[in-house]
Structure 1
Amino acid sequence: MRFRQGRLHFQSFFFSSLIATLLSNHSLAESETETVSLTHIPVSFSLEATLEAVNQSTVSAQTQGRINAIHYDVNDVVEAGALLLTIEDTQQRASLAQAEAGLAQAIAQNEDAQIVLQRNQKLHQQGTLSQGKLDSSAAQAKSAAAMVTAAKAGVQQAREQLAYTQVRAPYAGLVKDRHVEIGELVAPGTPLMTGMSLAHVRAIADLPQRLAQRYESASQISVQIEDQTIQPDTVTLFPFADRKHHSVRLRANLPATETLLTQNTTLSARQLLPGNWARLIFTYDQRQAIVIPESAIIRRSHMAAVLLQQQERTVLRQVRLGNRLQGNPVQGNPIQSNIEVLSGLNEGDILFVDGYARLAEVSQNEQ
């Protein structure tokens, strides 16, 4: 095996120790090559983002009374419709009983008014009752019917007030904060508990104004959590800028947490908790670059090189690497797990796709 000198300043131990390691670890199958070419890669901007729950809210009292019982506390997981706490309902039950009694009275008065109206209609037809008295009885019957409707509404309202004494979770989630204690008197509007749903989270980031102007669609946005890249379901760019920082808030709704955990086995539920950090990648342009499979890179300490085929020779060439790409380039279809080469390669170079395997193969052939 011949290595071209001059441009490369590798130390001699680089080759000997590397080859010795490879001979025992790589198969000697015929190496695959590809021709180096320019391709278009995305130009992106990375932002710090924060995860937050899509559904997070504070449950407030809708009736008056003292707290009788608290069934959940901070950090407890609750199901949708679970009974969070109860409020003393003595007053509400009394109001309901009063409303039901009023409804019964209104029904009785209405029945009596309707009977009187029917009797007066017959008397009027016989000519023994004046039109004025008939009109008066008709008005009384109409008023009695309206009183029944009002009484029914009162009963419904009283039942709702009684139901409000049992405060239930609007959705499944986690209790974030509790604002009351047993025995406290609450009134409508008093905060009781704050909770959030873990079923759906979103990433929040502030986009610089100069980049916000280049936002066009949700396909430009991706979210990185640990080593996983997630494409959001929907993206919302706020229609106004922050007056102090001159940035525009961007909100990326992620797929359902259950779906994310199923599709990304390396993700854990703790990594998706609201408040965690994430990275938001905004792709706003593309440029030409040389991109190669990461498997072609031979590394030793801080140095990197690739193996090229030049006629019948295998040549080692040092390269300077750029960033790993998030997904495939916009154009072309290179092998997954790609890396940009900033210098050391030219269009038309013939590259060995698996650098270590080729190095082991050539070393074996020379023995």
Structure 2
Amino acid sequence: MSTETSPTGSRRKLLLAVAALAVLAGAAWGWRAWRGVEVATQAVQRRDLVQTVVASGRVQAPHRADIAAQITGAVVAVPVRQGQAVTAGQLLIELQSAEARALEKQAALAVTQAQVRLRQLREVQAPVAEQALRQARATLDTARAAAARSEDLFRQGFIGSAALDEARKALELAAAARESARKQWESGQPSGSDYALAEANLAQAEAGLDVARARLRYTRITAPRAGTLIDRNVEVGDVVQPGKTLLVLSPEGQTQLVVDLDERHLRRLALGQSALASADAFPGQRFAATLAYINPGVNAQTGSVQVKLDVPQPPPNLAQDMTVSVDIEIARRPQALVIGLDAVHEPDGPAPWVLKLQDGRARQQTVHLGLKAAGVAEVLDGLQAGDTLVTGADAVHDGQRVRARATPAR
């Protein structure tokens, strides 16, 4: 015997199934509502917080040395190249020196002649003059004695006036000869005119030799100090003129970074602030720098202020005019209470707030923020270390039941 299902029974079974599904769905929804919406969270923690200003700039030596010739001459050698490191005193450019060497020899000969003249004055003329003076004095003494005898004989009538006049003239001539010999002797003494003239001639000759030697030295242009040649504008065969820049030297040990910062950072800058920098060509090699100069003026066109940072120990691959990235530390908070800015609502408003996970619900909490840096902020008031905050959940409202999203196993 077959059994048939009536249409009324089928509808009843369908309704029962739908009702069962509805009950199950409602139960599931109620369970989820009771557990709360799954949200991303973060914990409030304590750690050192550093605020930096990030900018880019260039490497620059505080002083560049422009190397130029001091005389006109033809270049015969340039034994250096652009970008080469040189030591103090190293030959950079050599000029034609044949004429300068000839002038030096000529000046040296003039010095020798002047020395010989002074030596001759000391060793020959001075002794001769002294001997002539002794002889003139002796002749004068003899003439005086003869004149005295002639005076006696004339008074006694033994000789006439003509003989007396001869004796007197002989005395005058002897006195004049003695005076001439004395002057000749004095001129050859260290305080005399001939001696002074000989010394002046020697000094003039020595000065001429110094000039000739300096001119010869000018044919060899050397590095005034150690550094790197960052520009070269001379080749062998060029005829150079005095004062024209031929090479540019960047001295070593005086490296600075020149950076233009937005003027809004000016109030936070202070001399001595530390920084970390890296050349764009070598981003993985960071080095220390110190803020050494803040331009008191602001560029009206760009709204920026120029600062300079000293680099006490520049890396060997840091070259002049390289582009660098600089992080200047403008503030530091040791062991500050820190939260991510992605958990803060209206962070720049008058009353920023967060949603704190408390007893399974999101509770709005006003916070007082301090230092901000690199996506995080310092909390001065409103939270404690270990508090859990809802992040990235704009749809969550105050009082809503929520639960922390489970971290996937790794």
Aligned pair count reads: 296
SS at match of 2:272: helix
The AA in structure 2 aligned to 1:224 is A
Q: Is the Cα–Cα contact under 8 Å of residues 200 and 256 in structure 1 kept in the other structure?
A: no
2:235 pairs, out of 173, 181, 197, with 181
Residue 272 of structure 2 is aligned to residue 219 of structure 1: yes
Q: Tell me, what secondary structure is at the counterpart of 2:100?
A: helix
Give 1:251's aligned amino acid. K
1:150 equivalenced with 2:200 (yes/no): no
Residue aligning to 2:386: 350
Contact in 1 for aligned 2:71/2:215 (Cα 8 Å): yes
Partners of 1:363 and 1:238 in 2: CA distance:
52
* Aligned position for 1:251: 308
Match of 1:49 in 2: 57
Residue deviations 1:84-126, cap 9 Å, x none? 2211100110110011011001111122233434654676688
- Cα deviation for residue 246 of structure 1 reads 7.4
**How much does 1:82 deviate?**
2.6
**CA displacement at 1:190 relative to structure 2:** 2.8
Report the equivalent of 1:107.
115
CA shift, 1:141, in A, is 0.5
Residue 81 of structure 1 aligns to a residue whose secondary structure is coil
Measured after TM superposition, the shift of residue 79 of structure 1 is: 3.5
Please, what TM-score do these two structures have when normalized by structure 1?
Answer: 0.60
Q: Could you tell me how far 1:275 is from its partner in structure 2?
A: 1.7
TM-score scaled to structure 2, two decimals? 0.55
Match of 1:331 in 2: none
In 1, Cα distance between equivalents of 2:250 and 2:129: 64
| Alignment partners' CA distance in 2, 1:236 and 1:119 | 74
Do the aligned partners of 1:117 and 1:141 also contact (CA within 8 Å) in 2? no
Structure 2 gap segments, 5+ residues each:
1-33, 138-177, 344-355, 389-403
Which residue pairs with 1:276 in the alignment?
Answer: 322
Question: Counterparts of 1:251 and 1:342 in 2: how far apart (Å)?
Answer: 29
Contact 2:337/2:378, CA 8 A, preserved across alignment = no
SS of 1:231 mapped into structure 2: strand
Does the Cα contact within 8 Å between 2:44 and 2:337 map onto a contact in 1? Answer: no
| 8 Å Cα contact 2:82/2:230 also seen in 1 | yes
CA distances 1:280-300 after superposition (whole Å, capped 9, x unpaired): 556667899964499xx99xx
Is residue 66–residue 183 contact of structure 1 (8 Å, CA) maintained in 2?
Answer: yes
Of stretches 98-107 and 44-53 in structure 1, the one that deviates more from structure 2 is 44-53
In proportion to residue count, which structure has more helix?
2
Query: What is the CA–CA distance in structure 2 between the aligned matches of 1:249 and 1:193, rounded to whole Å?
Result: 28
Aligned pairs for 1:67-106 within 5 A: 67-106=75-114
Unaligned runs of 5+ in 1: 15-32, 262-268, 299-307, 325-338, 353-358
Mark the structure with the bigger radius of gyration: 2
- What letter is aligned with 1:348? Q
Match of 1:177, SS? strand
- 1:51-70 residue CA offsets vs partner (Å, 9 max, x unmatched): 11345322111233211122
Paired AA for residue 373 in structure 2: N
- Report how far residue 163 of structure 1 moved: 2.0
Q: Which moved more, 1:186-195 or 1:57-66?
A: 186-195
Q: Is the 8 A contact 1:70 1:86 kept in 2?
A: yes
2:289 paired residue number: 231
Percent identity, please: 20
What is the 5 A alignment of 1:260-275? Answer: 261=315, 269-270=316-317, 272-275=318-321
Secondary structure of 1:143 counterpart: helix
Asked if the contact 1:198–1:273 (Cα under 8 Å) also holds between the matched residues in 2, the reply is: no
Task: Tell me, yes or no, if the aligned pair for 2:78 and 2:93 is still in contact at 8 Å.
Answer: yes
Distance 2:264 2:196 in 1: 68
